[in-house]
Structure 1
Amino acid sequence: MVTEYGKPFSVNGLGKKIREWCDEAGLFHCTTYGLRKAGAMIAAQNGATDDELMAIFGWTTKKQTTLYTKQANRRKLAAGSIHKVEIGTICR
């Protein structure tokens, strides 16, 4: 991403620009951290691997990526197995 002057954003400059875009869109509750986290979770739920997440989000170890891939895998397992719970037996 580049600025309106065609130069790459600095880390702080990009953060400020994202804040500006969120405010303009009425998304006052959004933060750059929250947007990054949401992006990582969506990518993991869509099948992104640890290595892919590292490449996308700039992480250098799998410590951060496994948080998202494990959570995505848990959600997939739960969604795929909830039918195994018999509601009638729980409510006796």
Structure 2
Amino acid sequence: MESKLRRKVRRGVVVSDAMDKSVVVKVETLKLHPKYHKFIKRSKKFMAHDENNECRAGDVVEIIETRPLSKRKRWRVSRIIERPASLND
């Protein structure tokens, strides 16, 4: 009986990196309205663990579900997908 649980993976944008080893990631999803058959954009913010403080606000990241790390952190940053061009470059 070897059933491995697949962890949930989300993709979102970092909206806050003010904390030490933590970021807030905004994830947007499209949900179909049952009556009007129109897609509605929904967003939710997740706190994620960023061990090396690599993420900056505006980065597109992939977060993965993990064990509870604190009261609100149940996700960790697995990789940075895209980094916006900064004004100083």
After TM superposition, the score normalised by the length of structure 1 is 0.22
After TM superposition, the score normalised by the length of structure 2 is 0.22
Structure with larger Rg: 1
Question: Where is the strand percentage greater, Structure 1 or Structure 2?
Answer: 2
Larger RCO: 1 or 2 (CA < 8 Å, sep 6+): 2
